[in-house]
Amino acid sequence: MKITYYGHSCFTAAVNGKTLLFDPFISGNPLAGHIDKSKIKADYILISHGHEDHIADAAALAKESGATIISNFEIVTWLSRQGISKGHPMNHGGSWSFDFGKVKMMNAIHSSSFPDGSYAGNPCGFLIETLEGNFYYSGDTALTYDMKLIGEYKKINFALLPVGGNFTMNADNALIAAGFIGCDKIVGLHFDTFGYITINHAEAKEKFSRDGKELILLKIGESINI
Ligand code: NI
Ligand code: MN
């Protein structure tokens, strides 16, 4: 499965011939100025919560690519009022089989409102099951014991977790989360974008490797096969 990182918590997963784009925030990211948004072709856009650093480019990219939004009911409805007609609303604990695989909406400990301050439903993460492997994107979240349920529920090939701290878990807590999930390969997200979430890359990676796990911190624009 090919993962491409677009900065902050935005990435694509190319799976079963489809491109899944997560939490599009590129034009407002000072570190992602070299990313050409018009080159991102998504079949689906998955949105974890309503905060601007996760949703800013969703409407524009959905319009350009004709992608289907997968998010909670509130976010799908909010985007439909902006002319995004293709949306699949879900809520926590629910799952649905799409043409690329199965999505289960997971719990996240965070807050969620739209950039205008209105209610955006509850924040979530996504568990994605496909023929090319399973992965978990937690969204913005604290470390939570709920993650143990994921480890008991499914074998996860890799997980994408926030590591920047302050607004979410930091790398230390993401390492504990990796244990809860039962997954040794973690792609770090939600770091370095703002002063509050700047991290020491070498130190964070070293903590993971001492525990027999791997923390992958991609460069913005970089792709990996995982
Ligand atoms: Ni947030
Ligand atoms: Mn965020």
- Amino acid symbol at 127: L
Q: Which ligand has the nearest atom to the CA of 111?
A: 1
**What is the spatial distance between Cα 165 and Cα 142, in angstroms, rounded to a whole number?**
9
Query: What is the Å distance from ligand 2's center to 88 Cα?
Result: 22
**What is the spatial distance between Cα 188 and Cα 149, in angstroms, rounded to a whole number?**
21
Kindly report, residue by residue over 84-117, the tens digit of the pLDDT. 999 999 999 999 999 999 999 999 999 999 999 9
pLDDT, average across residues 1-22: 98
Q: Which two tokens stand for residue 181?
A: 């999930």
Work out the mean pLDDT of the chain and round it to a whole number. Answer: 97
**What is the spatial distance between Cα 166 and Cα 171, in angstroms, rounded to a whole number?**
11
pLDDT at residue number 15: 96
Q: Which residues pair with 44 in a beta bridge?
A: 20, 68
Query: What is the Å distance from ligand 1's center to 90 Cα?
Result: 19
Task: Quickly count: other Cβ atoms within 10 Å of residue 76's Cβ.
Answer: 20
Torsion over CA of 181, 93, 95 and 175, rounded to 10 degrees?
-20
How does residue 183 score in pLDDT terms, banded at 50, 70 and 90? very high
Domains within the chain, CATH numbers bracketed = 2-225 (3.60.15.10)
Q: Which ligand has the nearest atom to the CA of 165?
A: 2
Q: Which residues pair with 129 in a beta bridge?
A: 102, 134
DSSP category for residue 116: T
pLDDT at residue number 155: 95
Kindly report, residue by residue over 193-207, the tens digit of the pLDDT. 999 999 999 999 999
Kindly report, residue by residue over 160-180, the tens digit of the pLDDT. 999 999 999 999 999 999 999
pLDDT at residue number 32: 98
Q: Which two tokens stand for residue 218?
A: 């991609």
Q: Which ligand has the nearest atom to the CA of 197?
A: 2
Query: What is the Å distance from ligand 2's center to 96 Cα?
Result: 25
Q: Which ligand has the nearest atom to the CA of 110?
A: 1
Angle separating helix axes 171-181 and 201-210, nearest 10 degrees: 30
DSSP category for residue 113: B
- Placement of tokens 């997968």 in the chain: 70
Query: What is the Å distance from ligand 1's center to 52 Cα?
Result: 8
- Amino acid symbol at 194: F
pTM above 0.95, yes or no: yes
pLDDT at residue number 205: 98
Which is nearest to 120 in space by CA: 58, 212, 196, 65?
58
Query: What is the Å distance from ligand 1's center to 112 Cα?
Result: 7
Angle separating helix axes 73-80 and 58-65, nearest 10 degrees: 70
pLDDT at residue number 157: 98
- Placement of tokens 């925030």 in the chain: 25
pLDDT, average across residues 71-89: 97
**What is the spatial distance between Cα 132 and Cα 120, in angstroms, rounded to a whole number?**
32
